[in-house]
């Protein structure tokens, strides 16, 4: 992930997390990959789906793991949510055909899906 993309991802995550943090809610919307697929399998990804994907991307980047999802930088938040939502839809579609990740933590499933769907060149 390029440095400017990391900044964009962190900004999107911060904006989406603000209401959650301000109300003190539990941030773990999903535990297993099956939970993520069930919760994010529709045509429009919820804020929880977007935030959790973004957090996995940040964790991967912090750990020095390379991931090559498309650049979702946008002029405004709505456009960014649409672009990131398209990534979620592709990852969930891949995970739906790979049940071996169902019971694994959602971060493991998303990491595997990103590596398979968006292979680094």
47-94 pLDDT per residue, tens: 999 999 999 999 999 999 999 999 999 999 999 999 999 999 999 999
* Rounded Cα–Cα distance for residues 67 and 48 (Å): 20
- Which residue is associated with the tokens 């002029």? 75
- The DSSP symbol for 105 reads B
**CB-CB contact of 102 with 33 (8 Å):** yes
Q: How is the chain split into domains, by residue range?
A: 3-117
Model pTM?
A: 0.77
Residue 69, classed as helix, strand or coil, is coil
- Which residue is associated with the tokens 């999107």? 12
* Rounded Cα–Cα distance for residues 4 and 62 (Å): 14
Who contacts 114 (Cβ-Cβ below 8 Å, separation ≥6)? 56, 57, 60, 67, 68, 69, 91
Predicted confidence band at 43 (pLDDT cuts at 50, 70, 90)?
Answer: confident
């Amino acid at each position: 992930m390029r440095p400017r993309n990391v900044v964009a991802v962190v900004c999107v995550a911060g904006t989406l997390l603000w209401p959650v943090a301000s109300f003190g809610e539990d941030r773990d919307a999903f535990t297993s990959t099956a939970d993520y697929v069930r919760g994010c399998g529709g045509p429009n990804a919820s804020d929880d789906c977007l935030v959790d994907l973004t957090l996995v991307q940040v964790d991967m980047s912090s750990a020095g793991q390379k991931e090559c999802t498309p650049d979702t930088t946008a002029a405004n938040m709505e456009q960014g949510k649409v672009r990131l939502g398209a990534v979620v839809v592709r990852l969930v579609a891949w995970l739906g055909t790979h049940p071996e990740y169902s019971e694994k933590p959602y971060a493991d499933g998303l990491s595997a899906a990103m590596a398979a769907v968006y292979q680094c060149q």
